[in-house]
């Protein structure tokens, strides 16, 4: 496997004609103007690396032939000097040592190469779709020779964990642990270096080490370990300063750190650090085009701040119910606006079927452009669930108080109360509808959908065949689905049927991908337990400059 540079995003027709292509999600303008059907685009990640075994063999043969020809005249010269009767030169016959043996040509990738390829194929989502990708900065770092040893070790650690489970080779697990330890050691060294601490490679290594914790975590302490990596990444963002967000890659890294920080802060009912919010605002000023995912993240940041304020108010009673309710409804309005004005390429198709109810809940499921688009949709749904839980609690707690600020029979309050419950149920149902695509479910020929499309996700398979090394379920699918599925199954309003569905599919993710934290979350949902590690304050007390 070799890195091939940043690949062209143009469609096949425009690349063949060497014309500029605007690469719109549903077909480029150039093909439309030419009156032809746009043939579509290459998956960027698939062409970042190229299989080079054949090329290496050819080079080996050429090198050997050159060496043989160079050695041949020497043998011939000595032969002709001893026999003057030979007037013409004869090449010496190839000796056994000069022949290319089959074992010499049997060039196979190393375990580390396989691990890196596994990581790229399962966790990196290119930016060729309707939004930025996931960890797609790896391509930029390869292109600029910006990948340091700590990042290489982190990629190998996560790749080896997944690859070992995929090919049923547990003997590789110690090697994965060794790479993880190496990545930690090198990253800690980078953090002590004023220059290395500001590198994109260092920040990405920390984020990938967080993925390792999710893969290997078997208890709630592992969730704390993940949070420590993420809050460490946030501290690095602060050290990097504004200069680090002057490039597209730096801005994308900031967005990744912010997304993870939103999760951690919501789990702990605290707001984002002020400097993260300030860096986001500063980065937006340099954007020539605001990506839809960036717009969604801005609304998520607002919710995170509000969520921290609401939970702090349970003790301080600084804000009135009316004030908090007004803020909550305004934020929910922003989320709803995103739902009502879906950006191009973000649409999803609804497929109806009565088959496989253990995977397809309630007879239908969604298909998105890719897992990353689905993940952002589900992130908004999760926050809407939490937000509408707060709206519901604000109204019911106020009406049950000795001196309610809301009138008991106020039609507006009654509407918001009913609407909050309806929103929670709808968001839960839509999260469950995203499960089949995440777990690689096959589109059956007898199913029907609410829309037609020819997107790249239209070729699901249910089994991979005996000679396929990688599982059908892309590991990013299981990874992105953990928390949405946990929340959907652990909501106070979740039925026994929904809870059982969530538990079953969390265990499916654990079984197929080896992501151990999926099994842990399945147990929490099944036993109706709470995650206590979020409330111990260790992370929060270690962090400064939290926004109010």
* pLDDT tens digits, one per residue of 362-402: 999 999 988 889 999 999 999 999 999 999 999 999 999 98
Please give the C-alpha separations between residue 529 and each of 239, 273, 518, 522, in angstroms, as whole numbers. 38, 29, 15, 10
Which residues, at least 6 apart from 94, have a Cβ–Cβ distance to it below 8 Å? 68
Mean pLDDT of all residues belonging to the chain: 81
Is the confidence at residue 210, as pLDDT, over 80? yes
Host H or E run for residue 440: none
**HSE (CB half, 13 Å, CA atoms) of 429?**
10
Best CA proximity match to 365, nearest among 479, 464, 270, 505: 505
Cβ atoms of residues 48 and 139 within 8 Å: yes
- Which burial class, exposed, middle or buried, applies to 413 when counting CB atoms under 10 A from its CB (0-12, 13-18, 19+)? buried
Q: Report the 10 Å Cβ neighbour count for 149.
A: 16
pLDDT of residue 416: 96
Host H or E run for residue 116: helix 111-123
Its pTM stands at 0.77
DSSP string of 373-405? HHHHHHHHHHHHHHHHHHHHHHHHHHHHSSS-S
Q: What is the distance between the alpha carbons of residues 389 and 493, in angstroms, rounded to a whole number?
A: 10
Is the confidence at residue 471, as pLDDT, over 80? no
pLDDT of residue 442: 59
Cβ atoms of residues 338 and 377 within 8 Å: no
Confidence of residue 408 (pLDDT cuts 50, 70, 90): confident
Q: What is the distance between the alpha carbons of residues 118 and 470, in angstroms, rounded to a whole number?
A: 8
At residue 131's C-alpha, the angle toward residues 126 and 132, to 5°, is 50
Q: What is the distance between the alpha carbons of residues 364 and 434, in angstroms, rounded to a whole number?
A: 10
Instruction: List % helix, strand, coil for the chain (3-state, nearest 5).
Output: 65, 5, 35
Q: What is the distance between the alpha carbons of residues 224 and 218, in angstroms, rounded to a whole number?
A: 12
Q: Which residue has the tokens 């143009």?
A: 10
Q: Report the 10 Å Cβ neighbour count for 125.
A: 24
Confidence of residue 146 (pLDDT cuts 50, 70, 90): confident
Q: What is the distance between the alpha carbons of residues 374 and 403, in angstroms, rounded to a whole number?
A: 44
Cβ atoms of residues 274 and 548 within 8 Å: no
Lowest mean per-residue pLDDT among 37-51, 124-138, 242-256, 331-345: 37-51
Confidence of residue 543 (pLDDT cuts 50, 70, 90): very low
Confidence of residue 289 (pLDDT cuts 50, 70, 90): confident
pLDDT of residue 38: 75
Cβ atoms of residues 206 and 253 within 8 Å: no
Q: What is the distance between the alpha carbons of residues 233 and 191, in angstroms, rounded to a whole number?
A: 10
Q: What is the distance between the alpha carbons of residues 198 and 449, in angstroms, rounded to a whole number?
A: 48
Helix 321-340 / helix 292-316 crossing angle, nearest 10 deg: 160
Is the confidence at residue 225, as pLDDT, over 70? yes
The SS3 assignment for 49 reads strand
Tokens describing residue 396: 């019911």
Is the confidence at residue 62, as pLDDT, over 90? no
Cβ atoms of residues 253 and 203 within 8 Å: yes
At residue 500's C-alpha, the angle toward residues 357 and 354, to 5°, is 10
Confidence of residue 463 (pLDDT cuts 50, 70, 90): very low
SS (HEC) of 258-276: HHHHHHHHHHCCCCCEHHH
Helix 248-267 / helix 200-216 crossing angle, nearest 10 deg: 40
């Amino acid at each position: 496997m070799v890195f091939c540079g940043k690949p062209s995003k143009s469609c096949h027709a425009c690349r063949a004609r060497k014309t500029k292509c605007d690469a719109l999600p549903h077909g480029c303008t150039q093909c439309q103007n030419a009156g032809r059907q746009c043939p579509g685009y290459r998956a960027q990640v698939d062409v970042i690396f190229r299989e080079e075994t054949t090329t290496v063999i050819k080079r080996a043969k050429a090198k050997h032939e050159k060496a043989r020809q160079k050695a041949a005249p020497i043998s011939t010269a000595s032969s002709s000097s001893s026999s003057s009767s030979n007037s013409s030169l004869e090449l010496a016959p190839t000796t056994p040592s000069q022949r290319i043996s089959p074992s010499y040509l049997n060039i196979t990738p190393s375990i580390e190469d396989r691990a890196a390829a596994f990581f790229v194929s399962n966790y990196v989502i290119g930016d060729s779709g309707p939004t930025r990708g996931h960890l797609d900065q790896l391509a930029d770092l390869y292109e600029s020779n910006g990948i340091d040893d700590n990042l290489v070790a982190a990629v190998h650690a996560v790749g080896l964990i997944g690859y070992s489970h995929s090919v049923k080779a547990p003997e590789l697990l110690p090697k994965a642990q060794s790479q993880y330890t190496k990545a930690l050691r090198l990253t800690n060294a980078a953090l002590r270096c004023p220059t290395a601490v500001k590198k994109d490679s260092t920040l990405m290594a920390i984020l990938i080490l967080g993925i390792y914790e999710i893969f290997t975590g078997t208890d709630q302490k592992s969730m704390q370990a993940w949070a420590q990596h993420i809050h460490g990444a946030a501290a690095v963002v602060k050290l990097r300063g504004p200069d680090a967000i002057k490039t597209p890659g730096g801005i994308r890294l900031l967005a990744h750190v912010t997304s993870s920080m939103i999760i951690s802060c919501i789990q702990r009912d605290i707001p984002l650090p002020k400097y993260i919010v300030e860096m986001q605002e500063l980065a937006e000023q340099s954007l020539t085009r605001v990506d839809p995912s960036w717009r969604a993240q801005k609304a998520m940041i607002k919710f995170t701040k509000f969520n921290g304020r609401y939970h702090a108010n349970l003790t301080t009673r600084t804000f009135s119910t009316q004030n908090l309710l007004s803020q909550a409804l305004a934020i929910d309005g922003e989320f709803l606006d995103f739902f009502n004005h879906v950006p191009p390429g973000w649409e999803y198709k609804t497929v109806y079927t009565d088959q496989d109810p253990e995977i397809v809940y309630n007879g239908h499921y969604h298909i998105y452009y890719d897992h990353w688009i689905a993940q952002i949709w589900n992130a908004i749904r999760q926050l809407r669930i939490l937000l509408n839980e707060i709206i519901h609690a604000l109204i019911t707690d106020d009406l049950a108080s000795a001196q309610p600020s809301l009138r008991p029979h106020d039609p507006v309050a009654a509407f918001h109360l009913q609407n909050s419950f309806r929103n929670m149920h709808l968001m839960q149902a839509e999260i469950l509808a995203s499960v089949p695509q995440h777990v690689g479910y096959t589109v059956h020929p007898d199913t029907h959908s609410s829309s037609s499309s020819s997107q790249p996700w239209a070729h699901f398979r249910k089994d991979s065949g005996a000679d396929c090394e990688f599982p059908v379920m892309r590991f990013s699918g299981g990874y992105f689905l953990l928390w949405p599925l946990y929340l959907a199954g652990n909501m106070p309003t979740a039925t026994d049927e929904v809870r059982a569905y969530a538990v079953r599919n969390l265990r499916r993710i654990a079984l197929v991908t080896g992501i151990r934290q999926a099994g842990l979350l399945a147990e929490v949902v099944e036993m109706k337990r709470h995650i206590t590690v979020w409330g111990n304050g260790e992370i929060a007390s270690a962090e400064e400059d939290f926004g109010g």
